[in-house]
Amino acid sequence: MKYIIAESSLKSLIKDKYNVDLTGKIKLVQNTYDVPMRFDDYLTNRQINLYLNNYGPMYLITIGNFKWLYQRQNKEYFFMDFLGNEITEKEFMQVIHLRHLGLSMDQLIDLYFTEE
């Protein structure tokens, strides 16, 4: 059975039940200067520009002291943490404790990302 949940109710559910609030923690990467220097050992400026030009928007997700880069690359997802580890969408959802909700990364971006 499927239920329709309003966006604000879904955010409240995620915050109350899973203790996760991504409000204001997802930033759009528009150029290499938007990527923290922590990633410099793993991605070059040229790679970042190539990814942005070929695949579109990239996002920087910050939760506590942890940072991840995320980008949808065609039908695949690119996730990298600030230690250079590449992870899958499923692993990322498990890290933030939302795997059981069945949300995709694109749905999380739509739910929490707001352009400034």
Domain residue ranges in the chain: 20-112
User: What pLDDT does residue 91 have?
Assistant: 92
Residue 3: the pLDDT is: 64
Cβ–Cβ < 8 Å for 27, 107: no
Of residues 61, 45, 64, the one with CA closest to residue 53: 45
The ranges of the chain with pLDDT < 70 are 1-3, 116
